Amino acid sequence: MSWADRLLFVDRRIIFLFVFVGALVPIIAPIGLGVTVSPPVQQVFDRIEEMQPGDAVMIAFDYGPSDGPELDPMANSILRHCHFRGVKVVGLSLFPLGGVDMAIARMRQLADELGAADGVGWVNLGYKDGAQAPMKAMGENIASVFPTDANGVPYEEIAMLEGLRNYNNFEMAISLATSILGEWWINLVNAQFGIDVAIGTTAVSAPKYYAYMEAKQTLGVIGGMKGASEYEELVERHYPQAKGLSRTATMGMDVQSIVHLVIIFFILFGNLMFIVTRGKKEAK
């Protein structure tokens, strides 16, 4: 067997080892590949950047643990951005499969990282079943849908929520969604109540939301891990206090990029060895 034949039939475990090393290196020693910010993500960032201290944003955690790797990093970055701007965050979930747990985890991380206090910089209202029904009811009175927060404290007794009666008192709503809930926020909340809606979603779901953006029914879209890494870049670029905080989406994109390069290399290498061996066989 010639050297080309041996390379063509290289043990697949060697390829697996290269992929493993390619994934491991950026985790141990972050590379920090360049991030180019796309307009859909920039527009979400700019909208929050325009807000004044004391303004309020509603964030719907409409996803579960299976989509956390893509949506958790964008949730972290948005929460940090709002904290740095002094913008109040009202979190809630209409997703039955763990959405409220995602909200609790993200807000606890914000508290641990930056000392943001529950009931001061943010409030988590918890979970409500029904999806469209609560969305519509909140257009009249949020307290009728969430009479207490996730800790059982009555809505009317939370000082941060004073004056936040319905959508008219919020600058925008952000749906971090893995299901059709994101579309409902656009079709129902934006269309009927006129509040700006932004969408953060998984990479596989993002394309359908760009059509809504073109129709000006949503002001921006943060798509998948790439979109999350772009938002991380924007927050760190504008706020020095964000330096040193975790950038899991950026690290994830580094891993993905290196692994893709390894795979591309072996595809090209395999084809090259095939051409070499075929040429030798034809020559015989």
127 plus 266 within the same structural domain: no
- Residue 172 phi, psi (nearest 5): -165, 165
Q: Is residue 261 domain-shared with residue 196, that is, in the same domain?
A: no
Residues 27-60 have pLDDT tens digits of: 777 777 778 899 999 999 999 999 999 999 999 9
The verdict on residue 17 lying in a domain is yes
Same domain, 52 and 193: yes
* Of residues 257, 205, 202, the one with CA closest to residue 227: 202
- What pLDDT was estimated at residue 176? 95
- Asked if residue 95 belongs to a domain, the reply is yes
Which strands sit side by side in the sheet containing 196-201, from one edge to the other?
122-127, 88-93, 56-62, 172-177, 196-201, 220-223
> Do 218 and 172 sit in the same domain of this protein?
yes
CA angle 220, 105, 242 (to 5 degrees): 60
Grouping H, G, I as helix, E, B as strand and the rest as coil, residue 59 is strand
In this predicted model, what pLDDT tens digit does every residue of 217-257 receive, in sequence order?
999 999 999 999 999 999 999 999 988 888 888 887 777 77
- If one counts the domains in the chain, the total is 2
277 vs 209 pLDDT, higher one: 209
Are residues 23 and 120 both part of a single domain? no
My answer on whether 263 and 127 are in the same domain is no
Nearest to 93 by CA among 102, 84, 80: 102
- Asked if 100 and 16 sit in the same domain, the reply is no
**Same-domain pairing of 212 and 95:** yes
**Residue 25 domain flag:** yes
Q: Is residue 144 part of a domain?
A: yes
pLDDT in tens, 159-197: 999 999 999 999 999 999 987 899 999 999 999 999 999
Residue 250 lies in a domain: no
Do residues 54 and 181 both lie within one domain?
yes
Intra-chain end-to-end CA distance of the chain, in Å? 14
Determine the structural domain holding residue 24 and report its residue range: 3-29+255-283
| 185 and 72 share one domain | yes
Same domain? 267 vs 228: no
CATH number assigned to the domain comprising residue 146: 3.40.50
Give the integer Cα–Cα distance in Å for 44 and 48: 7
In a domain, 53, yes or no: yes
Closest CA to 177 of 49, 59, 44: 59
b/e burial code for range 5-36 (CB count within 10 A of at least 16 → b): eeebeeeeeebeeeeeebeeebeeeeeeeebe
Which three-class secondary structure state does DSSP give residue 87?
A: coil
Residue 238 placed within a domain: yes
What is the pTM for the complete model shown? Answer: 0.85
Looking at residue 20, what is its pLDDT?
Answer: 86
Q: Is 34 contained in some domain?
A: no
83 and 187 both lie in a single domain: yes
Report the C-alpha gap between 52 and 45 in whole angstroms.
14
User: How many other C-beta atoms lie within 10 A of the C-beta of residue 158?
Assistant: 20
